[in-house]
Amino acid sequence: MHVHILGICGTFMGGLALLARGMRHRVTGSDANVYPPMSTQLESQGIELYEGYDEAQFKTKPDVVVIGNALSRGNPAVEYVLSNNIPYVSGPQFLANEILSKRWVLAVAGTHGKTTTSSMLAHILTYAGMSPGFLIGGIAHDLEVSARVGKEPFFVIEADEYDTAFFDKRSKFVHYRPRTLILNNLEYDHADIFPDLDAIKKQFHHLMRIVPANGLVINHNDDENINDVLEQGCWTPCEPFSSDKNRKEGWHIRDAADDYSQFDVYFGSEKQGLLRWELSGAHNVANALAAIAAARHSGVPTKHAVAALSEFSGVTRRLENIGYVNEITVYDDFAHHPTAIKTTLDGLRRKVGAQRIIAVFEPRSNTMRMGVHEHTLAASFIDADEVVIYAPDDIGWNLNAVGEAIGEHCQIKNNIEELSRSLVSNARAGDHILIMSNGDFGGLRERLIEELVK
């Protein structure tokens, strides 16, 4: 079958392309901007890419067109597909039809931690010799790719609540039909498609309705919004988890190091093992407990899951050390929500102690650009010694108020080159520069490391 994918360079659609290719389909695709690293990864797998959305790409006469959720009516390729009666489907539905209907699906849902937890879970199952399939919104160092068909029955998927396509406004995760479901946490996000938190809870409730009675829901015990969703209806056994050291029920921890680089894993009153690893932060403890619980449901003994995570190397763009130059450490992180910013900084603070942390942030997500977090953003930087926030010309609100709330140790910059020069001139040996953005930040990461070398 010839599969043509519109919006192929997005994280989800690019992963879907790798899966389709792994099933020996002919795969082509197009995007408005075709650029590395996704374009390189796809082309290395024999996937032909087109730049733009003109009708010439359809001369190859695909059997089906998979349409990404970034495309809408008015797009030339979409209009051509509709006008010429070419079979089309959304990415999540294609995935469900071609792969997930035959699998034991382990889905990871929630506002934060989906990529890391999915990567941990896929790593555990791989370590246990199960050769799982997976589709994850990032690349774990141990897995090397973001998607793999794997062997039946297990398939790990990052279950996003964002809408499916212009013709299907349900959340993507309702297509996945998980048997094992992790509910990490739930906060208001994606303000471009959800009017309020209750609208997101409704989608999570729809997800709960399709988890079978012989499945398992692994829920974050400390999250009130997750608890609200469960109270709306739950037809599946639940196992709670918590990184709160005072919790004694479900999956929890004891005797944790201050930076959470090691801790005892407990299920109920029974100790399951001691986990020592490279990661830090309470949020990663929660991610680990959820992944261990999900792996246990699929048949992996807890001691093997703990052993696997002791060798887990982390995920790209999740507090990833991308450079050590003149005794200055530079990190890259995907954080784009106040809670993620706060937990990432807390984890780094616990790791580096009193050494100076310079937090650099780009407000790039749709929700952030709409100003939804205007009144909660400043408090998320409490663990940073210095804060630099990039203010693009087209942002829809005034960031100066955030800068004033943070205080004198905050700078607002509207030029990437100037921002980089300022960082270089102010950084000193022993500093930790944390760059946070869910985009490329105008090439700041590469520019900064290059200028620090000089």
Cα–Cα distance measured from residue 414 to residue 267, given in angstroms and rounded to the nearest whole number: 49
CA angle at residue 241 from 236 to 245, to 5 degrees?
Answer: 160
Q: What is the CA radius of gyration of the chain?
A: 22
Q: Is the pLDDT of residue 37 over 80?
A: no
The pLDDT, as a whole number, for residue 296 is: 98
Asked whether residue 236 falls in the same domain as residue 375, the answer is no
Residue 152's H or E segment, with its range, is none
The pLDDT, as a whole number, for residue 398 is: 87
Residue 307's H or E segment, with its range, is helix 302-309
| Mean pLDDT score, 190-216 | 96
Domain of 347: which CATH number?
3.90.190.20
Determine, yes or no, domain membership for 200.
yes
Place of tokens 């141990």: 142
Domain of 209: which CATH number?
3.40.1190.10
Give me the domain span that covers residue 205: 99-309
Asked whether residue 55 falls in the same domain as residue 166, the answer is no
Asked whether residue 48 falls in the same domain as residue 143, the answer is no
Determine, yes or no, domain membership for 93.
no
Mean pLDDT value across the chain = 94
Return the axis-axis angle of helices 114-127 and 282-297, rounded to nearest 10°. Answer: 50
pTM for the predicted model, two decimal places: 0.93
Determine, yes or no, domain membership for 404.
yes
Asked whether residue 212 falls in the same domain as residue 261, the answer is yes
| End-to-end Cα separation, the chain, in angstroms | 52
Determine, yes or no, domain membership for 43.
yes
Asked whether residue 251 falls in the same domain as residue 279, the answer is yes
Asked whether residue 107 falls in the same domain as residue 62, the answer is no
Strands (E), 184-255: 216-220, 238-241, 251-254
pLDDT tens, 299-345?
999 999 999 999 999 888 889 999 999 999 999 999 999 999 999 99
Domain of 25: which CATH number?
3.40.50.720
Determine, yes or no, domain membership for 315.
no
Contact 122, 140 (CB under 8 A): yes
| 425 DSSP β-pair partners | none
Total domains in the fold of the chain:
3
CA angle at residue 276 from 271 to 281, to 5 degrees?
Answer: 100
Nearest to 149 by CA among 24, 8, 298: 24
Q: Looking at 53, 88, 123, which one is the last position of a domain?
A: 88
Q: Looking at 27, 61, 88, which one is the last position of a domain?
A: 88
The pLDDT, as a whole number, for residue 99 is: 96
Cα–Cα distance measured from residue 308 to residue 298, given in angstroms and rounded to the nearest whole number: 15
Q: Which value, to the nearest 10 degrees, does the dihedral of the CA atoms of residues 235, 239, 243, 244 take?
A: 80
Which DSSP letter does residue 200 get? H
Determine, yes or no, domain membership for 235.
yes
Asked whether residue 27 falls in the same domain as residue 73, the answer is yes
Asked whether residue 273 falls in the same domain as residue 349, the answer is no
Q: Is the pLDDT of residue 38 over 80?
A: no
Asked whether residue 449 falls in the same domain as residue 330, the answer is yes
Asked whether residue 254 falls in the same domain as residue 150, the answer is yes
Q: Looking at 51, 66, 88, which one is the last position of a domain?
A: 88
Contact 132, 125 (CB under 8 A): yes
Contact 116, 285 (CB under 8 A): no
pLDDT tens, 156-183?
999 999 999 999 999 999 999 999 999 9
The pLDDT, as a whole number, for residue 33 is: 83
Cα–Cα distance measured from residue 125 to residue 246, given in angstroms and rounded to the nearest whole number: 29
Encoded amino acid at 36, one letter: P
Q: Quote the tokens at residue 293.
A: 């619980």
Beta carbons within 8 Å of 308's beta carbon, 6+ residues apart = 123, 124, 127, 128, 295
pLDDT tens, 225-255?
999 999 999 999 999 999 888 888 899 999 9
Cα–Cα distance measured from residue 324 to residue 96, given in angstroms and rounded to the nearest whole number: 43
Contact 80, 151 (CB under 8 A): no
Contact 420, 393 (CB under 8 A): no
Determine, yes or no, domain membership for 245.
yes
Cα–Cα distance measured from residue 44 to residue 403, given in angstroms and rounded to the nearest whole number: 44
Cα–Cα distance measured from residue 194 to residue 200, given in angstroms and rounded to the nearest whole number: 7
Asked whether residue 149 falls in the same domain as residue 62, the answer is no
Asked whether residue 295 falls in the same domain as residue 325, the answer is no
Alpha-carbon distances of 214 from 104, 126, 218, 237, 299, rounded to whole Å:
12, 24, 13, 8, 14
